[in-house]
């Protein structure tokens, strides 16, 4: 069994309108995502065509963060993960953390986040 290499994008941010409260849907807030792609990296080639284009992944993440509003950041993370797995056949696993640092929580906190890991080899029920 071979171990996977990784490409990691940290701190991709965008304004989104996710949440269950009307003010979240109306006013929006900043969401931040970290993405780690698990794959076998080609280290003998110096050609962009031989790897995952991380600029395209960043654009995909930004589009989900700023796209169709969802009630839960768990759903947002799932959509990002699915998009990353579909984007390039070389990606075998993806770990996504979605941060909601401005979540409407009454207690003082510095961050609220969810982290999920998905794999092409594991089928999840819909």
Q: How many domains does the chain have?
A: 1
| pLDDT tens figures, 74-116 | 999 999 999 999 999 999 999 999 999 999 989 999 999 999 9
Per the residue annotation, which of 8, 100, 120, 124 is the catalytic one? 100
pTM above 0.85, yes or no: yes
Confirm whether 126 is domain-assigned: no
Check whether 124 has a pLDDT greater than 80.
no
Share of the chain above pLDDT 70, in %: 94
Tell me the per-residue pLDDT of 35-69, one tens digit each, with 9 for 90 and over. Answer: 999 999 989 999 998 999 999 999 999 999 999 99
DSSP letter (8 states) at residue 50: G
Residue 16 pLDDT level (bands cut at 50, 70, 90): very high
Whether 125 has a pLDDT exceeding 70, the answer reads no
Neighbours of 28 (CB within 10 A): 17
User: Residue 66 sits in a domain of what CATH number?
Assistant: 3.30.1130.10
* 25 within some domain: yes
Taking CA atoms, 60 is separated from 13, 85, 91, 94, in Å, by 12, 11, 14, 14
Provide the domain limits for residue 81. 5-119
Predicted confidence at residue 67, as pLDDT, reads 97
Please confirm, yes or no, whether 100 is among the known catalytic residues. yes
């Amino acid at each position: 069994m071979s171990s996977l290499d990784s490409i990691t994008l940290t701190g991709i941010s965008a304004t989104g309108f996710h949440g269950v409260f009307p003010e979240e849907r109306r006013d929006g807030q900043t969401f931040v995502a970290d993405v780690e792609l698990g794959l076998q990296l080609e280290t003998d080639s110096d050609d962009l065509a031989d790897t995952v284009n991380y600029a395209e992944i960043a654009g995909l993440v930004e589009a989900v963060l700023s796209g169709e509003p969802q009630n839960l950041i768990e759903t947002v993370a799932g959509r990002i993960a699915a998009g990353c797995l579909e984007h390039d056949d070389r990606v075998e696993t993806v770990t996504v953390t979605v941060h909601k640092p401005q979540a409407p929580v009454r207690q003082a906190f510095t961050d609220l986040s969810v982290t999920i890991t998905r794999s092409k080899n594991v089928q999840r029920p819909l």
